[in-house]
Structure formats: C-alpha cells, structure tokens
Amino acid sequence: MSPLRRFLRTPEAFAGAILLAALIAMALSASLLFPGDPQAIAGPAMLPPFQDWSLPLGTDRLGRNVLAELFHGARTSLAVGLTAAAAALVVGAVVGTLAGFAGGIVDEVLMRITDAFQTVPSFLLALAFVSVVGPSLGIVVIAIALGTWTGPARVARAEVLSIRERDYVAGARVIGMHPLAIAFREVLPNALPPVLAMSSVIVAAAILTEAALSFLGLGDPNRVTWGGMIAEGRTVLRTAPFLSIVPGIALVLTVLGVYLAGEGIVETTAVRRGLS
C-alpha cells in the first residue's frame, strides 16, 4: 500500500487533510473570489449573516465583507505558519547538527544559546521582538521563528549524536571529506525525519501566535488576519458576536487540521518503519 493511501486511511489524518485542503483552497482562491481590497467598505455596517446573499457572512462595524476578510485571513495564516515553521526547522536543524557533530566547546556554546532562548516563553519573546522592531508580516515570521527553533535544534542534536559514530560516517572521514560536508551531506539527511515530525506542532503554534499578536494589535496593519478580526469583533461582542465567532471557528479548525494531519503523518511513518 502506498504511503498516501495509508495516510488517508487513518481517520485523524483524513480529517486533518480535509481541513487543510479547505484552508489551502481558501487561501488560493481569495484573490479570485474577492478581488480588490478586502478591507474596503462593501455594504452597511453590522449587517448580520444570511441577510444579504451578496454578503453571506455579513459585514463588520465598518461595513467590510466578513467572508472576504475570512478568505484573505486564511492566506495570512497559511503564509505565516508555513514560513515561520520552515525558518525554525532550518535554523534548528543547522544548529543541532553543528552542536552534535562538532561536540566540545562548539556544542557547549550552541546549547547554552539554545538554553537562553528556551528560558523565555516563545510568545513573550515574539511579543517583545515585534514591539521593539515594529509590526509587519516579515517581522512576525522572524519573531515566531525565534521562539520555536530550539525544539528542532535539540532533537537534531540528539539524532546527530547517535549517527556520527556509525560506520559510514567513519568511512567518510577516512576518505578525507570535509567535516562540514560530512555533517550536512551524510549525517543531517538521516537525522531529519524526527525533526520534520515536529513541523505540524510548529505550524499550529505559529498560526496561534500570529493570531494572538494580531489580537493585541501587533500584526501587520496592511493585512487581514483572523486575530485582528476577533479583536475587531470584541468591541461589539454583545450585539454582533458573529464578528468574533466566525474567525474564531476558522482558527480552531485550522489548528485542529494541522494537528490531525501531523498525527497522521507520524502514525503512517511509524507503520512504514515497522513494515520495513
């Protein structure tokens, strides 16, 4: 059975794949279905859902189309989650590989730097960084990556410590390969699977962190975000709760989809290793 079929036969993986497919479809179709500025006024303010079928989810207190904002917010969440996770995994894998393969003083220095980053909660680190540098999409991605690279670094280091003593690594040393070439061409590819298994957790955490920063007014002001939509609806929660409930449900379903898909990948990989 192919890995894809094995993945889709896992109930949680199938549910996660459906939710992620919906998120990706929303992000890719946002500009096609809702061209122009999603923050432009589209109708009367505070229009309830299902009152006007040209505005199926109604409008916010400024008269902006909630459905258009929801679709464009999916693009922001997906971009931040994937980019921040990729940055964290790359930095963590490089640091962990260097620390585990070099050992000695290099290992000590890199691990003490990792410890220093881990002593600060990731959200507080992101909050402080964005507050100092200023809110923009790139800065938010960097801020989230700063707080999440330490986990992949420790996992990569642990894997490299066990791999560096194997025979093929000793053979690469004997034939005169440069230590960095051995570390990144021979050792790192075999240490990556456990590191990549953390990607779903990091993506979900990145999406939640971006939403929290936007909720606090520290997101990119030029982009629609689900956290910003929730914060916008907070001021009229009694009279128009849908303004916070709709993006809140989208955020919950997205994070749930990422977690379920990640669990499916881990289970599929475990089954495949057991068969091999």
Q: Looking at residue 80, which CATH number applies to its domain?
A: 1.10.3720.10
The answer to whether residues 30 and 74 touch, using CB atoms and an 8 Å cutoff, is yes
Angstrom distance (rounded) from CA 253 to CA 21: 12
In a domain, 129, yes or no: yes
In this predicted structure, what is the pLDDT of residue 177? 87
The count of structural domains within the chain is: 1
In a domain, 230, yes or no: yes
In this predicted structure, what is the pLDDT of residue 276? 46
Residue 186: DSSP 8-state: I
Q: Which domain holds residue 233?
A: 8-27+65-275
| pLDDT by 10-residue block (mean), the chain, 276 residues | 69 87 92 90 90 90 93 92 93 94 92 92 92 90 93 94 86 87 89 86 92 90 90 89 93 92 75 47
Q: Is 59 helix (H, G, I), strand (E, B) or coil?
A: strand
In a domain, 58, yes or no: no
In a domain, 198, yes or no: yes
In this predicted structure, what is the pLDDT of residue 222? 85
Angstrom distance (rounded) from CA 85 to CA 218: 20
Q: Is 276 helix (H, G, I), strand (E, B) or coil?
A: coil
